[in-house]
Amino acid sequence: MKSGCYSHRQDGAALIVVLILMVMAAMLAVTGLQGGVTNEKLAGNYRADALAQMAAESVASLKAVSLNGTNPTKALDVCVNLVRSFDDQEVSDWEESSRGRNVKVFFKKCSKDGKGEKAGYAIIGRVYSGPSSEGKAVAEHGVFIVNEGGPSSSPYDGLVGCDGVSLSGGPMIDSYDSRLGSYGETVSKDAGSFYNGKRSNVTVKTIKAGAGLELKGHSPIYGDLNIAGDLIMKGQTPLYGNAVVGGNAEINGKIGGMDGSGKSVGGDLSVMGNVTVGNAGVVQGKVSANGDMSSSGKVEGDIEIGGNADFSSSSVTNGGVIAEGNVNIGSTGSPPQSVRAGGSISYPSWWQYNDTFSQLASSSYHQGSNVNVGKVSGSQGEGQCDALSVLGENGSGPGKFFSETLSGNSTVTAPGWFDSHGCEHCYSSNSKGINLTGGKGNKDASDTVIGEAGKSLVMEVGGDLSTGGKLRKIRVKGDVVLVVNGDFDIGNNTQLVVDKDASLEVLVTGKTTLSGGSNLLTSNALVRKGQDGKLKPALSIFSAYRSSGKNDAGVEVSGANDSYVNIYAPGANVEVTGSGSIYGAVRGKEVNMSGSGDIHYDEALLDIDSGGKSIKWWEG
């Protein structure tokens, strides 16, 4: 008799299904992993490309300021060919500028005749897979910059003190872009947003040989420095950018460190003389010097020195050191990561009992090496502060800029123009010049208009021009050139407003005073098209005044003025005091800023063709 319990045969269908599902899951996982790896590689490549581009263009911005006005007929082709034919084996005559441990920039002069004429530079930025002395290149970006002739110094530079710059108190130097909106606005662009201010596209510059810069107090600079003479940094002044120094550099305050930690967020420090980094000094980027270096502070990047280098016991050096002379390392816990010296290397005797430092010295320190450090090149005085010839020759009177303006245009006198436009009550005359009064008797001219929309006007004042009485606003229409053969004084709480599609150029032979509660305003962006179709600042002041000494201010901005203006005064000292801020650009013989008055450079001025440089790039 058969039992009622049956043994059922298993056919394995469930097992097969499970195995298929597991294989599919594994394939999905592998595919996802491959996609992630691919995306990671793409992101890494994009980052490397961006670093190479930023490195090359940062050096291009520094080299642009040192180009002299030449006529490089074929220099552009020479620069392009140098960039495109760049070869690892033929870089001995290229200069180098490291931007980090794995980023390096190579640059070389290019000229049409090969005689060293500074017609331009070919520049290559490279990112390496490891430290630039060991890794292989993974990204490259080329830039070539040439002069197209014309003035060597643009009238629309950021902050230029031909004979020197002094910042004390708490003024701030930064940039913004009026093409995107007003200063301080939050701008939405490319699916993102940013603050239109504290941008770093401004250069503080001196020109005359030996003209230096002293920074004391707390005067943050969001941009670069290009100093012909010495740089002295004191207090807590931060620099958010690179510094090129034609003399010596003494860094006793902090370069960067606005986050409260004291850590620098600045760039490179390139010095043609000697460099000293004090106890409070922090350099975020690379330090290069043709002379000697002494450090008791902190350097995050690599160091290249043409002379001797000395690191005290309080120094912190996170990069490597290359020096043509001797290197002395004190009893610090943060010595250089590597040293290559043409002379000797000395370090504390107790290192022999410390495995870490002993190994560092034996494997990464090399003395008596064949060291040839690339020389720092920078401005030691261009000799050309007045590219526009605002100043007359032989030290007297106004120059060609004034005479050509008056001779090349039909001019009218200020009284003649006002009278012909039914505004006899707008002004009063005296032996010194005219005063815009804002009206006489019951005739109101508190809002006085100069010029006509869509027309050009050259108006000449045979003496001083001042404001007073009932005047509250001067409104400019059309393109107006105002030639003042005396002093120009806007005060008494007067606003100078330049209408949309209008512009005003004030040519002054005497002193310029922007005082009291006066404001120089434009109704839209500072840069606009004139009646001739060319871009120009809405408001420019060109001063032919010559200061007789340090205390003789030819252009003075005081009180609580907010002035949207381009100031060009190569022979006059420019004083910015109180809380008055300038939105535009400033050039003076000496520029002295105190109090809390700021300079906000308008990047839109870069659009104006001054006949100077042309920066182009090639990616490869």
State yes or no: pLDDT of 419 exceeds 80: yes
At residue 446, the pLDDT reads 94
Residue 435 is inside which H or E element, if any?
strand 433-436
At residue 620, the pLDDT reads 36
Instruction: State phi, psi for 384 to the nearest 5 degrees.
Output: -125, 95
pLDDT, tens digit (0-9, with 9 covering 90-100), for 526-579: 998 888 888 889 999 999 999 999 899 999 988 777 889 999 999 999 998 877
> To the nearest whole number, what is the mean pLDDT of the chain?
82
AA letter at 94: W
pLDDT, tens digit (0-9, with 9 covering 90-100), for 23-43: 888 877 777 676 665 555 556
Range name among 37-46, 179-188, 266-275 with the lowest pLDDT average: 37-46
CB-CB contact of 523 with 500 (8 Å): yes
At residue 264, the pLDDT reads 47
CB-CB contact of 566 with 522 (8 Å): no
* Whole-number Å distance between alpha carbons of 165 and 261: 28
At residue 116, the pLDDT reads 43
pTM here is 0.74
Residue 64 pLDDT grade (very low, low, confident, very high; cuts 50, 70, 90): low
Q: Which of 450, 502, 500, 448 is nearest to 470 (CA)?
A: 448
The residue ranking higher by pLDDT, 206 or 596, is 206
Residue 583 is inside which H or E element, if any?
strand 581-593
State yes or no: pLDDT of 206 exceeds 80: yes
pLDDT, tens digit (0-9, with 9 covering 90-100), for 124-150: 888 888 776 667 777 777 776 655 443
Strands 327-329 and 345-346: parallel
Range name among 180-189, 233-242, 545-554 with the lowest pLDDT average: 233-242
pLDDT, tens digit (0-9, with 9 covering 90-100), for 464-499: 999 999 999 999 999 999 999 999 998 878 889 999
AA letter at 546: R
Name residue, tokens 């003649």.
416
DSSP letter for 127, please: E
* Whole-number Å distance between alpha carbons of 321 and 328: 11
Range name among 87-101, 110-124, 324-338 with the lowest pLDDT average: 110-124
Instruction: State phi, psi for 311 to the nearest 5 degrees.
Output: -120, 120
CB-CB contact of 145 with 118 (8 Å): no
Q: What pairs with residue 435 in β-bridges?
A: 428, 466
DSSP letter for 8, please: P
* Whole-number Å distance between alpha carbons of 420 and 398: 29
What count of other Cβ atoms lies within 10 Å of the Cβ of residue 377? Answer: 20
The residue ranking higher by pLDDT, 18 or 283, is 283
Instruction: State phi, psi for 448 to the nearest 5 degrees.
Output: -95, 130
CB-CB contact of 211 with 259 (8 Å): no
Q: Using DSSP, how many helices (H) and how many strands (E) does the chain show?
A: 5, 52
> How many Cα atoms within 13 Å fall on the side-chain side of residue 466?
18
* Whole-number Å distance between alpha carbons of 308 and 314: 18
* Whole-number Å distance between alpha carbons of 163 and 165: 7
At residue 75, the pLDDT reads 52
Could you give the angle at the alpha carbon of 581 between the alpha carbons of 155 and 445, nearest 5°? Answer: 90
